[in-house]
């Protein structure tokens, strides 16, 4: 799905700001919302209000505002685009339902031309539902308390923020228009190859031009698909981004009826043996699993935090991050493209794992993969999540790998049957990027059933935290044994996609005491000693970039404290040690 952009043939109106807001209500789209509340867009609604009934609400919440269609749009299609409605959205124009969408982290849009008039105002109501069930991605369970309140539980730790956490747009589009653009690049000595394919809404001649960063034309072609060559290409490299743009024009005779520009970078990605290659050169990932999480806004996108987070990534020597545990805002992906940060792009499939209910035994009280638990309907929702992620992010040079699940119960019966078709689907949709999943600690090389289907072994391991807590010597032995097992069994690159220790800033000790700043540092040092001894190792992503909000739990103190930065982005002691290591490594082993 194309990002809405302002072009010579398209206009864009941003609908962010304060919207009327309510939870519950009977058919609230039929008239003005009966509520004194206003909510900020973009933001999760949960932390905006002091009323815990709103924060903990399970079900539909409503946003409403008036919107005026620009008067010059009388011969245009009028489109409404919601960047994200978590987890399900319904859009009403005056009383009419114009769009419905399930999946909280991917965009959807509707052609509302038939319901609005140029220069006229309409009432826009958007319902968002935060319910998670066996057939949603991510999954969850709704229970009812003794006093009749509905409660949402889930198998991931981050808080189930909901609402309109990203922008809402009104835009105009010509009747005959560019519907989709796919760009696949390669490097052939000093020449860049650009395979493109354009989908239009109706058959029409198409012209494409490649523009370099100065706006100069460097290649051009006619037709809806083909391969362009850029001589003396400047590749997109980690830490040294360079972007070209593909200008796509739909023609009617000499007239340009639609014009759309898609930025792209020329780079290649390949897994060869135990190496991860970008532009043919071995790449070593340094960075983090992140979250979209800030005080008050929850998962609301915020450009100020975006800029600051990337400044901190640069400061600490991180060259990459994983979009744990859901697709991030498109602004984040484009920023990564422009600033040369490498991204592992993850679906929201986190928590397909009932073994976590068995505590550290890893023995599931009931099977994870079954018709009663996670079955075909779950897999269909998961397939949709993969389709929508790839449709949205396929042209980002920063994205070098798809991660289709976090910590599924890959050691259980049924895991292979569940995952095999999803890996096939991912490869069919994008044959150019490697595919991974992040492995839970219960899945060891001896009992995991799916690792051979994937390109890179991404391991989440917490030796020294959840296992061998406070005993780094034992943890070091366990970790090395575990990693050598995988390295010995598979001839694939291995990276640590999560390792971390909860740390209260300001807590200190001369001993190996969990929760202290010294312990976080010693824990990371121990991990790094082991990583450096494993040849097939291609990267390290610390869990987490920053502290983040979670649901309640006796092992959570106002959230997850494994951040290397606090929730307000101040460095803990470990940040300085990581910085020294990552600056020294410089993206190479
Ligand atoms: C994990 C999960 C991550 C959690 C983390 C933790 O394995 O993948 O979402 O936040 O552990 O800190 O417990």
What whole-number distance in Å separates Cα of residue 530 and Cα of residue 463? 12
Specify the CATH number for 270-585; select among 3.40.50.10490, 3.30.70.2190, 3.20.20.80, 3.30.540.10.
3.20.20.80
Distance 324 CA to ligand 1 centre (A): 10
- pLDDT tens string 224-269: 999 999 999 999 999 999 999 999 999 999 999 999 999 999 999 9
- C-alpha 182 chain-centroid distance: 19
Q: Where are the beta strands (DSSP E) in 267-372?
A: 269-272, 275-278, 281-282, 285-289, 320-322, 342-346
In contact, 438 and 445? CB cutoff 8 Å: no
Active site residue 334: no
Q: Where are the beta strands (DSSP E) in 347-446?
A: 399-406, 435-439
Residue span(s) of the chain under CATH 3.20.20.80 come to: 270-585
Q: How confident is the model at residue 25 (pLDDT cuts 50, 70, 90)?
A: confident
- pLDDT tens string 468-522: 999 999 999 999 999 999 999 999 999 999 999 999 999 999 999 999 999 999 9
The ligand 1 atom nearest the CA atom of 560: 12
- Quote the tokens at residue 380: 């269909």
The per-residue pLDDT for 440 is 96
- Nearest CA owner, ligand 1 atom 13: 157
The per-residue pLDDT for 356 is 84
- pLDDT tens string 292-327: 999 999 999 999 999 999 999 999 999 999 999 999
In the set 330, 407, 517, 540, the catalytic residue is 407
pLDDT over 80 (residue 560): yes
The per-residue pLDDT for 324 is 97
By most ligand atoms within 8 Å of CB, the mutation choice from 497, 550, 560 for ligand 1 is 560
Helix then strand count (H, E) for the chain reads: 8, 32
The ligand 1 atom nearest the CA atom of 156: 9
Active site residue 498: yes
Task: Report whether the peptide linkage leading into residue 553 is cis, meaning its omega lies within 30 degrees of zero.
Answer: no
Average pLDDT in the 12-30 region? 95
The per-residue pLDDT for 348 is 98
Residue 241, SS3?
A: coil
The per-residue pLDDT for 140 is 97
- Quote the tokens at residue 379: 């897999």
Residue span(s) of the chain under CATH 2.60.120.260 come to: 12-173
- Nearest CA owner, ligand 1 atom 4: 157
- C-alpha 460 chain-centroid distance: 17
Average pLDDT in the 209-222 region? 98
The per-residue pLDDT for 362 is 77
Distance 157 CA to ligand 1 centre (A): 7
The per-residue pLDDT for 365 is 86
The ligand 1 atom nearest the CA atom of 440: 7
- Quote the tokens at residue 210: 């490649």
DSSP 85-132: -BSEEEEEETTEEEEEEE-TTS-EEEE-GGG--TT-EEEEEEEEE---
Phi, psi of 249 (to 5 degrees): -125, 130
Specify the CATH number for 12-173; select among 3.40.50.80, 3.40.190.10, 2.60.120.260, 3.40.1180.10.
2.60.120.260
The per-residue pLDDT for 364 is 83
Instruction: Respond yes or no on whether ipTM tops 0.85.
Output: yes
Q: How confident is the model at residue 17 (pLDDT cuts 50, 70, 90)?
A: very high
Distance 325 CA to ligand 1 centre (A): 10
Burial (CB < 10 A; 0-12, 13-18, 19+), residue 50, is exposed
Distance 534 CA to ligand 1 centre (A): 24
- pLDDT tens string 339-386: 999 999 999 999 999 988 877 777 888 999 999 999 999 999 999 999
What whole-number distance in Å separates Cα of residue 555 and Cα of residue 356? 15
Q: How confident is the model at residue 192 (pLDDT cuts 50, 70, 90)?
A: very high
- pLDDT tens string 42-75: 999 999 999 999 999 999 999 999 999 999 999 9
- Residue carrying structure tokens 């040092």: 525
In contact, 158 and 105? CB cutoff 8 Å: no
- Residue carrying structure tokens 């024009």: 249
Phi, psi of 530 (to 5 degrees): -70, -45
By most ligand atoms within 8 Å of CB, the mutation choice from 437, 460, 502, 555 for ligand 1 is 460
Note the CATH architecture for domain 178-267. Sandwich (2.60)
Burial (CB < 10 A; 0-12, 13-18, 19+), residue 72, is exposed
pLDDT over 80 (residue 101): yes
The per-residue pLDDT for 359 is 78
26-40, 87-101, 215-229, 350-364: least confident range:
350-364
What whole-number distance in Å separates Cα of residue 158 and Cα of residue 142? 17
Nearest to 576 by CA among 341, 317, 319: 317
Ligand 1 surroundings by CB, under 6 angstroms: 156-157, 325, 406-407, 460, 498, 543, 560, 562
pLDDT over 90 (residue 589): no
Residue span(s) of the chain under CATH 2.60.40.10 come to: 178-267
* 365: β partners: none
- Residue carrying structure tokens 């679906």: 347
Q: Is 487 left (phi over 0), alpha (psi -120 to 50) or beta?
A: alpha
- Residue carrying structure tokens 């808080």: 159
- Quote the tokens at residue 414: 């049924």
In contact, 54 and 44? CB cutoff 8 Å: no
Residue 477, SS3?
A: helix
């Amino acid at each position: 799905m194309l990002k809405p952009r302002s072009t010579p043939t398209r206009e864009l109106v941003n609908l962010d700001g304060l919207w009327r807001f309510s939870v519950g209500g009977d058919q609230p789209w039929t008239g003005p919302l009966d509520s004194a509340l206003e909510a900020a867009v973009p933001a999760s609604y949960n932390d905006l209000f002091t009323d815990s009934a709103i924060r903990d609400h399970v079900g539909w919440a409503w946003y409403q505002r008036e919107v005026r269609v620009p008067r010059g749009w009388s011969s245009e299609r009028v489109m409404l685009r919601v960047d994200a409605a978590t987890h399900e959205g319904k859009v009403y124009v005056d009383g009419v339902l114009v769009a419905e969408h399930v999946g909280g982290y991917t965009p959807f849009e509707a052609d509302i031309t038939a319901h609005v008039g140029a220069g006229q105002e309409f009432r826009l109501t958007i319902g968002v539902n935060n319910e998670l069930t066996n057939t949603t991605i991510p999954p969850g369970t709704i229970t009812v308390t003794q006093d009749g309140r509905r409660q949402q539980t889930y198998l991931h730790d981050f808080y189930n923020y909901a609402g309109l956490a990203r922008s809402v747009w009104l835009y105009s589009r010509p009747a005959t228009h560019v519907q989709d653009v796919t760009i696949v690049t390669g490097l052939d000595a000093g020449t860049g190859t650009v395979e493109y394919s354009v989908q239009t809404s109706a058959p029409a001649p198409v012209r494409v031009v490649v523009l370099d960063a100065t706006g100069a034309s460097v290649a051009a072609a006619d037709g809806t698909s083909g391969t362009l060559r850029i001589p003396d290409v400047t590749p997109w490299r980690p830490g040294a981004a360079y972007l070209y743009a593909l200008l796509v024009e739909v023609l009617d005779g000499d007239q340009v009826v639609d014009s759309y520009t898609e930025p792209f970078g020329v780079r290649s990605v390949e897994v060869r043996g135990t190496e991860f290659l970008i532009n043919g050169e071995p790449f070593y990932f340094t960075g983090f699993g992140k979250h979209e999480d800030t005080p008050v806004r929850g998962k609301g996108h915020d450009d100020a935090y975006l800029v600051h987070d990337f400044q901190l990534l640069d400061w600490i020597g991180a060259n990459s991050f994983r979009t744990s545990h859901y697709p991030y805002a498109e602004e984040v992906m484009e920023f990564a493209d422009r600033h040369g940060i490498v991204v592992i792009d993850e679906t929201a499939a986190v928590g397909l794992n009932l073994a976590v209910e068995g505590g550290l035994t890893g023995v599931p009280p009931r099977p994870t993969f079954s018709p009663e638990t996670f079955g075909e309907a779950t897999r269909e929702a998961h397939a949709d999540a993969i389709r929508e992620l790839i449709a949205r992010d396929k042209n980002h040079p920063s994205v070098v790998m798809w991660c289709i699940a976090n910590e599924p119960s890959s050691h259980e019966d049924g895991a292979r049957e569940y995952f095999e078709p999803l890996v096939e689907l991912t490869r069919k949709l994008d044959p150019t990027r490697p595919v991974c999943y992040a492995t839970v600690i219960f899945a060891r090389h001896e009992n995991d059933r799916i690792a051979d289907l994937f390109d890179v072994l991404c391991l989440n391991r917490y030796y020294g935290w959840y296992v061998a807590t406070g005993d780094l010597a034992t943890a070091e032995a366990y970790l090395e044994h575990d990693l050598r097992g995988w390295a010995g069994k598979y001839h694939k690159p291995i990276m640590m996609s999560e390792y971390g220790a909860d740390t209260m800033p300001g807590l200190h000790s001369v001993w190996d005491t969990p929760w202290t700043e010294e312990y976080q540092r010693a824990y990371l040092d121990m991990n790094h000693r082991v990583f450096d001894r494993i040849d097939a190792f291609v990267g390290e992503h610390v869990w987490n970039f920053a502290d983040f909000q979670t649901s309640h739990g006796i092992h959570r103190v106002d959230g997850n404290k494994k951040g290397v930065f606090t929730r307000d982005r101040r460095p803990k002691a470990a940040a300085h040690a990581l910085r020294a290591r990552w600056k020294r490594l410089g993206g190479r082993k």
